[in-house]
Amino acid sequence: MANRWLGFVTLLVFTFLLGPLVIMLVSSFGEAGVLQFPPENWSLKWYANIFQGSMFMTAFQTSILVSFAGNMLALLVGLPAAYAMSRFQFKGKAFLQTLFISPVLIPGIVLGFALLRYIIVTFQIPVYTALFIGHTIIMLPFIVRVISSNLDNFDFSIEEAAVSLGASRVGAFFRIVLPNIKSGIIAGVLIAFLESFNNVDISVFMTGPGVSTLPIQMLTYVENYFDPTIAALSVLLMALTAVLMFVIERLVGISYFTKK
């Protein structure tokens, strides 16, 4: 009896989780000018539509650029921070740990608005720079967290061994520590990239006239049109995400994102 209930609930969960995705996937191939399920006629024209005109391509480029640049900066800050927090005991460590994680704890809307209101407006920061800063902040916690969890299992005695054999601290970091946490770094970078690339709630405050990230552009589009272009674009983005997740899974296992 209990088992049957469980089966039923599981079925419901999967239906609600996957149903919309399946509907979107199928209807993106419809011919009609509105979303239809199942479509009466089949076509690839909405996929072609994505690449017609520069609207999505420009936004895509902006997204890639912002996510990539922010990613690099977040890595530059996040890697040494994660290393220091795993390796050393120091005053204010707990505070720093919380600080690096806080962007995921605060609702994006609040964070986005706060950034806009107190930083962007106050300092008159241009749109691109604002996006760059905002996305660095989005990505930092993911990078710090994934690399930290990698370093927490790291046996620092091999670093000490290297130093005792004559390597400098910096040399030991690059030659001994880095090669052994490589997969964690790549995973952190990829997951942060996905997080930034798909972000809406913070980007929405940072974008301005003429500059838009892909999700924001999509949002604007659905406000005006009802055709399946967005469905087609979503399918492409899903495919991209799936590929990245596959790579991450191969590198470190998906458990990285389910454990705290």
Least distance in angstroms from the C-beta of 148 to another protein: 20
CA 25 to chain centre: 22
Least distance in angstroms from the C-beta of 225 to another protein: 52
**Alpha-carbon gap, residue 98 to 240, rounded angstroms:** 31
Residue choice 163, 186, 237, 251 for contact with another protein (CB under 8 A): 163
Please report whether residue 174 would count as binding another protein according to CB under 8 A.
Answer: no
Please report whether residue 88 would count as binding another protein according to CB under 8 A.
Answer: no
Closest-CA residue to 25 (of 233, 246, 243): 233
Please report whether residue 92 would count as binding another protein according to CB under 8 A.
Answer: no
Least distance in angstroms from the C-beta of 170 to another protein: 11
Please report whether residue 73 would count as binding another protein according to CB under 8 A.
Answer: no
- Applying CB under 8 A, which part among 10-18, 22-30, 171-179, 196-204 lies near another protein? 171-179
Residue choice 52, 98, 164, 241 for contact with another protein (CB under 8 A): 164
**Alpha-carbon gap, residue 160 to 151, rounded angstroms:** 15
Please report whether residue 233 would count as binding another protein according to CB under 8 A.
Answer: no
Residue environment code for 228-250, b if the CB has 16+ CB neighbours within 10 A, otherwise e: bbbbbbbbebeeeeeebeeebee
Please report whether residue 252 would count as binding another protein according to CB under 8 A.
Answer: no
Please report whether residue 200 would count as binding another protein according to CB under 8 A.
Answer: no
DSSP three-state, residue 198: coil
Please report whether residue 23 would count as binding another protein according to CB under 8 A.
Answer: no
Please report whether residue 179 would count as binding another protein according to CB under 8 A.
Answer: yes
Determine the length of the chain: 260
Backbone angles phi, psi at 154, to 5 degrees: -85, 135
Residue with tokens 């999505």: 56
Please report whether residue 161 would count as binding another protein according to CB under 8 A.
Answer: yes
What crossing angle do the helices spanning 55-87 and 93-105 adopt, rounded to 10°? 160
**Alpha-carbon gap, residue 148 to 238, rounded angstroms:** 28
Contact 147, 188 (CB under 8 A): yes
Please report whether residue 176 would count as binding another protein according to CB under 8 A.
Answer: yes
| Residue among 92 and 179 whose Cβ is closer to another protein | 179
**Alpha-carbon gap, residue 127 to 243, rounded angstroms:** 30
Please give the residue ranges that form the binding site for another protein (CB under 8 A). Answer: 155, 157-158, 160-169, 171, 176, 179-180
